[in-house]
Amino acid sequence: MPRVVVSVVTHNESRDAELLLPTVFAQTFRDVAVVAVDNRSEDGTRAALAASARVSPFPMEVVSSRENLGFAGGHNLAIARAAETGAEWVLVLNADVVLAPDYLERLLEDVSRGGRADVGAAAGKILRAAGPDLSPTDVIDTVGIRMTRTGRHFDVGADEPDEGRWDTPAEVFGVSGCVAFYRVAALEDVRISTGYFDDDFFVYREDVDLAWRLRGRGWAARYVPSARAWHRRRNLPQRRRQMSPVANLHSVKNRFLLRINNAGGHHLLSTFPGTFLRDLVVVGGCLTVERTSLEALRWLGANRARLLAKRREIQSKRTVPDRALARWFGPHEDGARIPDLP
Nearest CA to 187 out of 320, 78, 40, 267 is that of 78
* 333 inside domain: no
Model confidence band, residue 245 (pLDDT cutoffs 50, 70, 90): confident
Dihedral pair phi/psi, residue 216, rounded to 5°:
-65, -15
Do the Cβ atoms of 224 and 339 come closer than 8 Å? no
pLDDT band, residue 336 (cuts 50/70/90): confident
295: pLDDT strictly greater than 60 = yes
Q: Which of the listed ranges 106-110, 112-116, 149-153, 325-329 does the model predict with the highest average pLDDT?
A: 106-110
**Total tally of structural domains belonging to the chain:** 2
Can you tell me whether residue 271 is helix, strand or coil? coil
Does some domain include residue 340? no
| Within a domain: 111 | yes
Q: What is the pLDDT of residues 307-316, one digit of tens each?
A: 999 999 999 9
The stretch 23-45 carries a mean pLDDT of 97
- Whether residue 106 is predicted with pLDDT greater than 70 in this model: the reply is yes
Domain finish residue from 235, 258, 277 = 235
Confidence grade of residue 334 (pLDDT, cut at 50, 70, 90):
confident
- Over the chain, what is the mean pLDDT? 95
Dihedral pair phi/psi, residue 121, rounded to 5°: -150, 150
Is residue 324 in a domain? Answer: no
pLDDT tens profile 192-239: 999 999 999 998 899 999 999 999 999 999 999 999 999 999 765 545
Residues 275 and 296 in one domain: yes
Q: How confident is the model at residue 241 (pLDDT cuts 50, 70, 90)?
A: low
Residues 284 and 178 in one domain: no
Residues 128 and 264 in one domain: no
* Whole-angstrom distance, CA of residue 91 vs CA of residue 106: 13
Is residue 336 in some structural domain?
no
DSSP code for 44: S
Q: Which of 184, 210, 235 is the last residue of a domain?
A: 235
What is the percent of the chain with per-residue pLDDT over 90, rounded to a whole number? 90
Q: Over pLDDT 70: what percentage of the chain?
A: 97
Termini Cα distance of the chain: 37
Last-in-domain residue among 207, 235, 263: 235
Does residue 341 form part of some domain? no
Rounded-to-integer distance, Cα 79 and Cα 85, Å: 10
One domain, residues 78 and 161: yes
User: Which CATH number is 48's domain given?
Assistant: 3.90.550.10
Lowest mean pLDDT among 71-75, 180-184, 299-303, 333-337: 333-337
Q: Is residue 339 part of a domain?
A: no
Asked if residue 179 and residue 53 are part of one domain, the reply reads yes
Rounded mean pLDDT, 318-336: 91
> Are 175 and 144 a contacting pair, CB within 8 Å?
yes
- In this structure, are 194 and 297 located in the same domain? no
Say if 329 falls within a structural domain.
no
Task: Indicate the pTM of the whole model.
Answer: 0.95
Secondary structure (DSSP) of 146-215: EE-TTS-EEETTTT-B-SSTT-S-EEESB--TTEEEEEHHHHHHH-BTTBTTTGGG-SSSHHHHHHHHHH
Co-location of 171 and 230 in the same domain: yes
Domain with 275 in it: 238-319
Q: State whether 16 and 154 are in the same domain.
A: yes
Same domain, residue pair 231 and 244: no
Helices (H), the chain: 14-25, 45-55, 70-85, 103-111, 184-190, 206-216, 245-262, 265-270, 272-287, 294-302, 304-317, 322-325
Q: For residue 217, which of 103, 109, 87, 120 has the smallest C-alpha distance? A: 120
pLDDT digits (tens, 9 = 90+) for 67-102: 999 999 999 999 999 999 999 999 999 999 999 999
Instruction: Provide the pLDDT for residue 237.
Output: 54
Helix (H) / strand (E) containing 130? strand 119-130
| Lowest-pLDDT range of 172-176, 189-193, 274-278 | 274-278
Q: Do 208 and 278 lie in a common domain?
A: no
d(CA 35, CA 81): 8
Contact 79, 3 (CB under 8 A): no
User: Does one domain contain both 150 and 251?
Assistant: no
The reply to whether 210 and 114 lie within a common domain is: yes
